[in-house]
Amino acid sequence: MNDMTVKRILAICVLLAAWELLPRVGAVNPLFIPPFSGVLSALADLNESGELARHTLVSLERALAGLSAAVVLGLPLGLILGGWFPRIQQAAEPLMELFAQANPVILAHIIIFFLGIGQSAKIFIIAWLCIWPITFSTITGLKTVDPGLIKAARSLGLGRGELFLRVVLPASAPSIFTGLRLAAGYAFIMLIAAEMMGASSGLGFLVIQSQESYNVTRIFAGASIITFFAVATDLLIKGVERRVVVWNDTASQDFLKLPRAVPEQS
């Protein structure tokens, strides 16, 4: 364990200690921000009554189903548009940008007309949201493949199919993973909104229900568990990427991060 890891763990401990101590000494109103130990015991209570497992499973199922649907649709869409049909991609791009702007939560009422208020409406909302980052980053990934790589592979006599599978796809993998992580982040944010709008189960419902009964500790318990799953999903995708994309030193960008603005050659 190196020095920085120790410091990082220390920083997290300081945050948790502040969360525990500030309400206890009365620096913030403990009714509004309950101490960390209170939130933990609320989580334990929820766990004992089985509510935690039930709501978490429902939420995870929705998020996972929506995300997988988005991957199943968005990845081939991006590959086909970016790889084979550049003109169709140019024609479709403005429309896809508009679609990406179309917040599915606004359209929730219309989606409910067609799909009912059950599971499928929520999965559709998540899938709609996640499909665009995946498609866009796949197209970007394909377009930014180093032409030198393709030329080298061609001159070594690779066929079209092999060129795609062995060169183009691996070279665009970091960008595809960036899109995946972005999509997963969006999925969790909007899943909670969708569950707050109208659901009878799920973590978003748990938070709204706790709000209606003024159970602040449970609001924090729900929020913590949602944050935990959002972070865990992000780390999971990052981990998968590290196993899959072993050859590349430029990994997918962190959520909300950018390559350096000034190229670092000087």
Partner 1 sequence: MHPALKETIGYHALRGSGVTLFLLLWELAPRLGWIDPYFVPPFSRVLPEIGRLWQEGALQLHLVVSIWRAACGLVLAALIALPVGLLLGERFAALSEALDPVLRVLSQVNPFTLMPVFVLFFGIGETAKVAVVAWVSLWPILFYTITGVRGVDPVQVKSAASLGVTQTELLLKVLLPASLPTIAVGVRIGATITFYILVAAEMLGSSAGLGFLVHNSAMNYQIPRIYAGATFIVLLGFLLNRTLQLLERNLFDWQLAAAYRPHGGGYQRSLWQPGRLTVAAGSAFLLLFLILGGVEVQKIDREAAQPASESGGHSHHLGTPVDNGGF
Question: Which chain residues interact with partner 1 by CB under 8 A?
Answer: 4, 7-8, 10-12, 15, 32-33, 87, 90-98, 101-103, 105-110, 113-114, 185, 188-190, 192-193, 196-197, 204, 207-208, 210-211, 216, 219-220, 222-223, 226-227, 230-231, 234, 254-258, 260-263, 266
The answer to whether the CB of 7 falls within 8 A of the CB of 192 is no
For partner 1, give the closer residue by CB, 155 or 266.
Answer: 266
For partner 1, give the closer residue by CB, 95 or 156.
Answer: 95
Minimum gap (Å) between residue 247 Cβ and partner 1: 25
Q: Crossing angle of helices 169-197/119-143, nearest 10°?
A: 150
The answer to whether the CB of 241 falls within 8 A of the CB of 235 is no
Minimum gap (Å) between residue 264 Cβ and partner 1: 8
Minimum gap (Å) between residue 86 Cβ and partner 1: 10
Minimum gap (Å) between residue 103 Cβ and partner 1: 5
Give per-residue burial for 47-60: e unless 16+ CB within 10 Å, then b: eeeeebeebbebbb
Q: Residue 62: what residue type?
A: R
For partner 1, give the closer residue by CB, 162 or 254.
Answer: 254
User: Which residues are within 8 A (CB) of 134 and not within 5 positions of it... i.e. 6 or more apart?
Assistant: 70, 71, 74, 75, 78, 176, 179, 180, 183
Q: Residue 129 and residue 188: Cα distance in Å, rounded?
A: 10
Q: Within 10 A of 116 (CB to CB), how many other CB atoms are there?
A: 10
For partner 1, give the closer residue by CB, 107 or 169.
Answer: 107
For partner 1, give the closer residue by CB, 138 or 181.
Answer: 181
For partner 1, give the closer residue by CB, 168 or 184.
Answer: 184
Q: Residue 260: what residue type?
A: R
Q: SS3 of 266, please?
A: coil
For partner 1, give the closer residue by CB, 169 or 201.
Answer: 201
Minimum gap (Å) between residue 169 Cβ and partner 1: 25
DSSP string, 16-76: HHHHHHHHHHTSS-TTTS--HHHHHHHHHHHHHTTHHHHHHHHHHHHHHHHHHHHHHHHHH
Minimum gap (Å) between residue 99 Cβ and partner 1: 8
> Given the structure tokens 């199922």, which residue do they identify?
61
Minimum gap (Å) between residue 61 Cβ and partner 1: 18
